[in-house]
Amino acid sequence: MGEMHMGNTGEVAKITSKDVLAAIYRMCDAVEENKGYLCELDAALGDGDHGVSMSKSFRAVRDKLPSLEGKDVGTILRAVGMALISTVGGAMGPLFGSAFLKAGERAAGKQEIGLDDIVDMFIAGEEAIVARGKAKVGDKTLLDTVHPAVEAIKEAKEEGLSISEALRRATGAAELGMKSTIDMIARVGRASRLGERTIGHQDPGATSAYIIIKAASMPYL
């Protein structure tokens, strides 16, 4: 997986809509950069086109971003969600799109967000993925990346930590969750047809989720 440039590690109390827009640009770049890697992972478990589908979806997102300059956080995230859902991208577009839509609802009208808002957005995103995909933790899906990240950021909030530290913890938990899929049997989606043959392969959807979370958190890592 290609390395992205690291930002500074300054502590922040608020994230602005401008920061959120920059985070979406980083997500688009990271997905594009990892297109081939995601296809390689998917070739072992599915049709081998996951990276292409994700790239297509996030190119549609990038096309929307210039029109979102100056908009509030909720509007930005809902626009991202709609772009992901409406682009041809298999199951992943609607799953990620639903997460962004629901997260955007929690940030409606806000030009800046604090850790309480971010935790609410993470929780809403996970709930949307569960509702849309019907998977559980342990089924070898993107949920195995997302759920640990949500739990980590909730704990960071309870401990009174900064946004920066909370996002660092969420990203670390997401990485461990992604790697945990290597030893799992796929129980939903096309990969589930392969049964035990899926053991030993990292789930591409879980990997995409990690790439997105890491890109969003990059300035704070």
In a domain, 9, yes or no: no
- Is 82 inside a domain boundary? yes
Condensed to tens digits (0 to 9), the pLDDT of residues 19-54 reads: 999 999 999 999 999 999 999 999 998 889 999 999
* pLDDT tens, residue by residue, 132-191: 988 999 999 999 999 999 999 999 999 999 999 999 999 999 999 999 999 999 988 778
Report d(CA 178, CA 39) in Å as an integer: 16
The domain in which residue 199 lies consists of 15-220
Average pLDDT of 197-207?
A: 93
- Residue 213 in any domain: the answer is yes
Residue 147, in any domain of the structure? yes
pTM above 0.75, yes or no: yes
Q: What is the CATH number of the domain that holds 47?
A: 1.25.40.340
DSSP three-state, residue 112: strand
In this structure, is residue 4 part of a structural domain? no
What's the domain count of the chain? 1
What span, in angstroms and rounded, lies between the C-alpha atoms of 56 and 89?
Answer: 7
Q: Which residues of 162-196 are buried (b: 16+ CB within 10 A; e: fewer)?
A: ebbbbbbbbbbbbbebbebbeebbbeebebeeeee
Nearest to 121 by CA among 83, 161, 155, 154: 154
In a domain, 172, yes or no: yes
pLDDT-based confidence at residue 215 (cuts at 50, 70, 90) = very high
Residue 5 lies in a domain: no
Of the pLDDT bands very low, low, confident and very high (cuts 50, 70, 90), residue 89 is low
* 160 exposure class (CB count in 10 Å sphere: 0-12, 13-18, 19+): exposed
Please report the pLDDT score of residue 3 as a whole number: 33
In a domain, residue 3? The reply is no
